[in-house]
A and B are shown apart, each in its own frame.
Chain A
Amino acid sequence: LAKTTQPISMDSYEGQEVNITCSHNNIATNDYITWYQQFPSQGPRFIIQGYKTKVTNEVASLFIPADRKSSTLSLPRVSLSDTAVYYCLVGEAAGNKLTFGGGTRVLVKP
C-alpha cells in the first residue's frame, strides 16, 4: 500500500484558497487518491476522489500530475467552517487494507 505524507498543519484566512499537497511516491497502477475531511467528534467525510489529471466538484478540486506521485487538494475561498483535519488516502478499491496517514490540520482564521 502506498504510504502518504502530508504537512501536519496549515493556517489560512477566510476567503483565501487553501492547497494541501500529499506525497505518495509508491502509488500503484490501480490506486485511487481520495481526500477526507474530519471535524472534531465526527467520522471522516468523503470530499473528492481522483485517478489522474484534475477533478472538481462543488466542494474542492483535486490536481494529480502525470506521474501520480503526489496530489493537491484545493479548497477555494475557505470559511471558518472549513477548519478541520484533511486526510489523503491512497489505495485500491474496497476490501483492501485502507490505512490513513496523519492528516493535515487546517485552521481558518477570521
Chain B
Amino acid sequence: NAGVTQTPKFQVLKTGQSMTLQCAQDMNHNSMYWYRQDPGMGLRLIYYSASEGTTDKGEVPNGYNVSRLNKREFSLRLESAAPSQTSVYFCASSETGEKLFFGSGTQLSVL
C-alpha cells in the first residue's frame, strides 16, 4: 500500500516562479488536506477538501490555490512563489474519525 504519495520530494524555485505540488492517495478517502510546516514549528492548514468537488480555506490560504482533480488527487499550486513560502508541505487524507494519513512531504525552497 502506497498510502499518500507526494511529488516532488524537493524543489527549489526563484521568487515569482510557479509550481504545482501533487498529492495522491490510494485509500479511497473522501477528505484531503494540505499543511505547511516551517522549521521548528507546528503544522498549519492551508486548504482542505471534504469530498471530491469541494475545497475550503484553512488557516493560511493566501498565495495558494488547490484543485481536487478527482477522489484520489489533490494538488496545491503556488502561482508566484515568495521566500515566505519556503517550507515543508504535507498532504494528508482521512475517511472518518479524524485519523489523518500523511505523505512524506515536499521540501520547498524559494530563493
Which residues of A does B touch, CB under 8 Å? 32, 34, 36, 41-46, 49, 87, 89, 91-103
Alpha-carbon distance between A87 and B44 when the two chains are bound, in angstroms: 12
Tell me, rounded to whole Å, the shortest Cβ–Cβ distance linking A88 to chain B. Answer: 11
Q: Does B109 contact A (CB under 8 A)?
A: no
Q: 1/0 contact trace for B88-111 toward A, CB 8 Å?
A: 101010111111111111000000
Determine the distance from Cα of A98 to Cα of B99 in the docked complex, in whole angstroms: 10
Supposing A36-B100, A42-B105 touch, asked if A95 and B30 sit within 8 A by C-beta, the answer is yes
Interface size on B, residues (CB 8 A): 32
Q: 5 closest pairs, A vs B, by CB?
A: A43-B102, A95-B50, A94-B94, A94-B31, A100-B43
Instruction: Establish whether residues B58 and A97, one from each chain, have CB atoms under 8 Å apart when the complex forms.
Output: yes
B53 lies within 8 A of chain A by Cβ: no
Using a CB-CB cutoff of 8 Å, which residues 37-77 of chain B contact chain A? 41-45, 48, 50-51, 56, 58-59
Determine how close the nearest CB of chain A comes to the CB of B15; give it in whole angstroms: 25
Tell me, rounded to whole Å, the shortest Cβ–Cβ distance linking B5 to chain A.
12
A94-B50 contact given A43-B102, A45-B102, A89-B98, CB 8 Å threshold = yes
Looking at chain A's contact residues, the main secondary structure is loop
Question: Are A98 and B98 touching (Cβ within 8 A)?
Answer: yes
Report A-chain residues with C-beta under 8 Å of the C-beta of B104: 42-43
Task: Please indicate which of the listed interface residues A43, A44, A46, A98 has the most CB atoms of chain B within 10 Å of its own CB.
Answer: A43
Picked from B51, B56, B97, B103, the residue with its CB within 8 Å of the CB of A43 is B103
A25 to B: closest C-beta gap in Å: 18
Q: Can you report 17 A-B residue pairs in the complex whose CB atoms are below 8 A from each other? A: A32-B98, A42-B104, A43-B102, A43-B105, A44-B43, A46-B99, A87-B43, A92-B98, A94-B29, A94-B50, A95-B48, A95-B50, A97-B48, A97-B58, A98-B48, A99-B44, A99-B58
Distance between Cα atoms of A19 and B103 in the complex (Å): 27
